[in-house]
Amino acid sequence: MNLLVYGIGQLATPLGQEPRRGAAQGELTVLRDAYVVVRDGRITDVGEGRRPRFLGPALDVEGRCVTPGLVDPHTHAVFAGSRVQEFLARARGERYTGGGILTTVRATREAGEDELVQLARPRLLRMLAQGVTTVEVKSGYGLTLADEAKMLRVVRRLDDELPLTLVPTFMGAHAFPPEVPRDAYVRLLVEEMIPAVARDGLAWFCDVFCDRGFYTVDEARAILTAAGGAGLGLKVHADELVHVGGAELAGDLSATSAEHLLHVSEAGIRALAQGGTVAVLLPGTAFVLGELFPPLRDLISAGVPVALGTDFNPGSSPVASLPLAMSLAILKLGMSPAEVLIGTTLNAAAAVGLEDEVGSLEPGKRADLVAWDARTYEEIPYWIGGNLAWAVVRGGVVLPPHPFSLPRGGEGKNDRSG
């Protein structure tokens, strides 16, 4: 698809094909009066000033701010059932221990593949409508090979169907199934489930919930070693509830990413820096659970690249809005707007292994971009809870506008009527 995007009041993007760390996490390239040229779905030119001659479709964004399409590197968007009563109980002051996952496991096992597709589709479309063009989705509510594979097939079907890139992660080690002894389940993961998932190409990554009450560091190491041997990338839910050494393990294995990190230790931070592991911080979860927030400045000053995600799931984070996570990162983690934008574009792309493909606006990358109803990128997290995405472009295709957005041009009838 060819496209010229012009009339860009401010274009804000990181540059490069690797995650940005330390001071570089806050260094954006900002152009004014800019344009982007797209050929065959790829960016071929980005510049300032007079727009180039271009034969083909053009999108005038009328002075708005443009950024790369956002990347949500951590969701559990495929599931059945609701845990609204757990949400309300927690709001009344009952402490979260993570036991609620099995509620969703029961509902997800009972749901058929088609039903899970129907349930996940509108969730993902709501993300897309907020400027998110790449979403990582984990399994982990099946806890049998058949049910985990069912979830991962749902991710693949929606990746084929929707104008979104979905990154599938196998997370059979999300909890322990009640019907299988613990040791036997770890063996099943290592000897049967991971080899089958890798053989059938159902996932790019393997993730383990390494925390108190979930998988020990030794169990997680065995599972991730098997996953790495089978050719899967590695992720760790690390040190969310207490410090158990999940970040140390992630760094030691040079995992692609370590997630949550509310209780990460100094040694864990050093290990992440040495392992080249991206820290995926999920401020929506800490916000919902009323917990503390991770030591963001320590991670950045140690040279750990930081990405942001929603952790969208029916229990600890019914937060589907990555822009809301961006606002929370400003208010609660003390990130700068530039750090936040890089954390939801290039660094988030690196957290899902797509830093060569998306996450920045420069020649060679796929033309995933968002025009925001904002003059500057700082306004995206500032208007908290509003959806400022005005136009979303994916692979050079301008997607239909959000159903509630005003007609482009600000006057006249919506030309989609009739």
Where do contacts with Zn ion occur on this chain (CB under 5 A)? 311
Residue type, 357: E
Cβ distance to Zn ion smaller for residue 158 or 282: 282
**Angle (deg, nearest 10), helices 145-161 and 113-129:** 50
Q: How near is the Cβ of 146 to Zn ion at its closest, in Å?
A: 22
- Residue (239 or 311) nearer to Zn ion, CB: 311
Nearer to Zn ion, 153 or 237 (CB): 237
Give whichever of 333 and 371 is closer to Zn ion, judged by the CB atom.
333
Q: CB-wise, 136 or 339, nearer to Zn ion? A: 136
Closest CB to Zn ion among residues 72, 311: 311
- Decide whether 268 or 309 has the Cβ nearer to Zn ion: 309
Q: How far is the CB of 76 from Zn ion (least distance, A)?
A: 6
Residue 237 beta carbon to Zn ion: minimum distance, rounded to whole angstroms: 6
CB distance 47 to 100 below 8 Å: no
Phi first, then psi: give them for residue 339, nearest 5 degrees. Answer: -60, -40
Q: DSSP E strands: which ranges in 86-164? A: 132-138
Alpha-carbon dihedral of residues 204, 107, 188, 261, nearest 10 degrees? 60
Query: In terms of CB distance, is 148 or 311 closer to Zn ion?
Result: 311
How far is 235 from 261, CA to CA, in rounded Å?
12
Least Å distance, CB 202 to Zn ion, is 19
Residue count of the chain: 418
Cα separations in angstroms, 210 against 6, 78, 174, 296, 397: 47, 21, 9, 20, 40
The torsion angles phi and psi of 82, rounded to 5 degrees, stand at -135, 150
Yes or no: say if 70 and 133 are a contact pair by the CB < 8 Å rule.
Answer: yes
Give 7 or 314: the residue with its C-beta nearer to Zn ion: 314
The minimum distance between CB 411 and Zn ion, in angstroms, equals 44
- Provide the token pair at 366: 């796929």
User: Least distance to Zn ion from the beta carbon of 50, Å?
Assistant: 47
Task: Give the chain's end-to-end CA distance (angstroms, integer).
Answer: 26
Give residue number: closest CB to Zn ion: 311
The distance of closest approach from Cβ of residue 394 to Zn ion in the complex, given in angstroms and rounded to an integer, is 25
Q: Outline where 98-181 has alpha helix (H).
A: 101-110, 113-129, 145-161
Residue 92 CB partners (closer than 8 Å, separation 6+): none
Distance CA 236, CA 284 (A): 18
**Residues 112, 147 contacting (CB under 8 angstroms):** no
Provide the minimum distance between the beta carbon of 216 and Zn ion in the complex, in angstroms, as a whole number.
18
| Residue among 311 and 339 whose Cβ is closer to Zn ion | 311
Rounded to 5 degrees, φ, ψ at 197 are -65, -40
- Give Cα 231 distance to the centre of its chain: 21
